[in-house]
Amino acid sequence: MAIARAKELDEILAKTGKTVGPLHGVPISVKEHVNMKGYPCNCSFVAWIDNIAEDDAPLLKLLYAAGGVFYVRTTQPQTLMHAATSSAIFGDTTNPYNTNLTCGGSSGGEGAIAGMKASVLSDLGDIDSRSWELVPILAARSVFLQLTVASGASVPQRNDFLYKD
C-alpha cells in the first residue's frame, strides 16, 4: 500500500510538476485504533480481533488528500489506557533504547517508532506525554493533528463482549 502510494505521488509530480498537497510523500504512522479501511481496528481487545474497518477515519482521509503516505500501524495497550503498551494480541512494545524498559502507553507504539527515527508524522493529536518522556526524542504537536478525536479516531462501536442478554 505505501509503496504504491509513493509511486503514485512520484508519477503525479513528474507529470504535473506539482505536489498533491503539503504532505506530499510524507510517511505517516497510524495507531491501530484509528479506522483504516480493510485493516483490523480492535484497540487490542481480543474479542474485537476480527473487527475490520469498513472505511477510513475522516482524519486519514484528510491526511491522504494532503499527500500523506500511510506506511505502518502501531500498537497500543488494551483500552488505550495503560502506562505501558502490552496486549494479548500484540504482546509487549518495548523502549527502543532499552528493551528492559517500557515505551509508555497509551501511545507506546508511536513513541517506540518515533524513538527509532522511523516516523516523522503520526496521526495523533492525543499522544500522551509518558511515551515521549520514556523514549527521548524531539516531538512537535500540531494543531492540524488535533483533529484526531473530532474526526472519527475511536474505538469500534461494539460492546457485545461486555453485556449479555
The winner for highest mean pLDDT among 14-18, 50-54, 63-67, 156-160 is: 14-18
Residue 117: partners with Cβ closer than 8 Å, 6 or more residues away: 137
pTM of the full structure = 0.74
- CA dist., res. 142 & res. 132, Å (int): 15
Q: What are 65's three cell numbers?
A: 488528500
- Count CB-CB contacts under 10 A for residue 8: 12
Which residues on neighbouring strands pair with residue 40, listed in sequence order? 52
Contact by Cβ (8 Å): 26, 121: yes
Domains of the chain: 2-151 (3.90.1300.10)
Residue 132 has pLDDT above 80, yes or no: no
Confidence of residue 123 (pLDDT cuts 50, 70, 90): low
Q: pLDDT (tens digit, 9 = 90+) per residue, 69-84?
A: 999 998 888 887 788 8
Residue identified by cell 479501511 is 37
- CA dist., res. 61 & res. 2, Å (int): 15
